[in-house]
Amino acid sequence: MAAISIAYQDAGLKPHRANFVELYVTGTVVGDSIEANAAGAMLSEGCQGRELVIRSVRSNVGHSEMGAYMISLIKVVMMLNRKQILPNGKFKKHWCKIEFSKYNLRVARAVEPMSPQNPRRQSSL
């Protein structure tokens, strides 16, 4: 979490202003839960009840390492440019160890506009 905090501080941005977070996820209960809960803890602090949308391309492209990362990067830039959050493809169920309600996390299931309450578009990848 320290790396996320430092990156936001260096960019002059507030973590809780992120419109969404693109997670790496590996498809494991332990790894995905740790990543999602860490992102939730860092990015939801101070968001005053606003949901944090989480998503990943892994369910679409698999574990192609750098290929998946590059697709994530392109997709994040595209979503910020279009002011839309794209759905998480092939999402079936929540991992029970991800604390969705504690951090007010939500998985994108359909194309949706970015929150008009948060006019400055930003994301974490």
* pLDDT tens digits, 30-40: 888 898 999 99
Q: How far is CA 7 from CA 2, 3, 22, 84, 109, in A?
A: 9, 6, 15, 23, 28
The model's pTM: 0.82
Element (H or E) spanning 62, and its range? Answer: none
Cβ atoms of 57 and 88 closer than 8 Å: no
**What domains appear along the chain, each with residue ranges and CATH number?**
20-117 (3.40.47.10)
Structure tokens at 94: 């929540």
Q: Which tens digits make up the pLDDT trace of 36-78? A: 999 999 888 887 778 889 888 776 776 677 888 888 899 899 9
Sign of the alpha-carbon dihedral angle for 52, 35, 86, 125: positive
- Residue 124, CB half-sphere, CA atoms under 13 Å: how many? 29
